[in-house]
Chains A and B, each alone.
Chain A
């Protein structure tokens, strides 16, 4: 059902416009990573990890001298969002265990959006077929970045180190201020707390530690949200 010829070309088509921006971000990853990790590792990482957020997070721990364990933790924490996303698409899935597993592995942020059909339903065919274009442009971009890194030299000279925070901002802003919903007050609070924790801890802890402690700001989610939300939902956002 979910893999019929009707739905899969849509995923492929919907993912086409992503090719260029993804390749560009992949390229900046290759440029920034290769001075530290060599030529092969960044490309292999893009091929098997295939997650810009995790790769940039790990790299931004490694660059100032943080260890492998901290870098891996930061990278994986950056990807914890895939847990709820996986549970969100699961009810729309059909087929056996293996098929569900492999469909899960090709999940990505943009695919999640492409496959979303509203009301918690997902077109799994469209979601899964958004994968090839995104994977190819991510890995291809990384290869181009690694190849060009030698010519480019110190990434700082070109302001490429600013690519990290701006890339993260492009993920954070839509989360805090969604286009078609009221702003996300709780996420804003958590983001502010995390920023403050990072500033406070940076001078007194090893590189990478502040980021991990700051992630604990998410624990305020244990408290149930206040109720007025229920009223706001029926209201006037159009």
Chain B
């Protein structure tokens, strides 16, 4: 039940955010400070999600095989390796480390 609520909330919310601009349209922009904040939400959120996925386990801060995998993925991305390939490289390193430890 809760899963369906989540799906509906995400679907409706996403459509709402995509369509407010086109529906109100007319070339009018939201106020400049709001636009700047909106533009910065993505980097803030994504950065927080990277830290969560790499260094946390429940409420604990940890450095484990994931950190090595993400580091490899980051280096790959830096050298313009396509995202999917970087994901596979990072995942492989992480899996191998887990086998070894």
A71-B6, A97-B23, A199-B51 known; A104 and B44 CB under 8 Å?
Answer: no
Would you call the interface of chain B mostly helix, strand, loop, or mixed?
A: helix
B11 touches A49 (CB 8 A): yes
Task: Mark interface residues in A182-222 (1 if CB within 8 Å of B CB, else 0).
Answer: 00101110111111011100111101001100111111111
User: How far apart sit A166 and B87, CA to CA, in the bound complex (Å)?
Assistant: 6
User: How far apart sit A204 and B58, CA to CA, in the bound complex (Å)?
Assistant: 11
Range of interface residues on A (Cβ < 8 Å): 35 or more
Which residues, 37 to 89 on B, are CB-close (under 8 Å) to A?
37-61, 65-66, 69-70, 73-74, 77-78, 82-84, 86-87
Chain B residues contacting A105 (CB-CB under 8 Å) are 15, 18-19
Decide if A233 is an interface residue (CB 8 Å cutoff).
Answer: no
Decide if A44 is an interface residue (CB 8 Å cutoff).
Answer: yes
Decide if A16 is an interface residue (CB 8 Å cutoff).
Answer: no
Would you call the interface of chain A mostly helix, strand, loop, or mixed?
A: helix
Chain B residues contacting A86 (CB-CB under 8 Å) are 17-22
User: How far apart sit A91 and B66, CA to CA, in the bound complex (Å)?
Assistant: 44
- Give the Cβ gap from A161 to chain B, nearest Cβ, in Å: 6
- Give the Cβ gap from A138 to chain B, nearest Cβ, in Å: 13
User: How far apart sit A85 and B29, CA to CA, in the bound complex (Å)?
Assistant: 11
A210 touches B38 (CB 8 A): no
Decide if A83 is an interface residue (CB 8 Å cutoff).
Answer: yes
A190 touches B98 (CB 8 A): no
User: How far apart sit A48 and B59, CA to CA, in the bound complex (Å)?
Assistant: 32
- Give the Cβ gap from B38 to chain A, nearest Cβ, in Å: 5
Chain B residues contacting A176 (CB-CB under 8 Å) are 43
- Give the Cβ gap from B80 to chain A, nearest Cβ, in Å: 9
Decide if A54 is an interface residue (CB 8 Å cutoff).
Answer: yes
**B49 partner, pick from A48, A60, A76, A103, beta carbons under 8 A:** A60
A90-B21, A220-B40 known; A165 and B56 CB under 8 Å?
Answer: no
Going nearest first, the 9 A-B pairs with the smallest beta carbon separation are A86-B21, A166-B73, A159-B95, A159-B94, A159-B91, A221-B36, A214-B48, A104-B19, A170-B83
Given A53-B46, A80-B17, 4 additional A-B pairs, CB 8 A: A45-B11, A60-B52, A100-B22, A168-B49
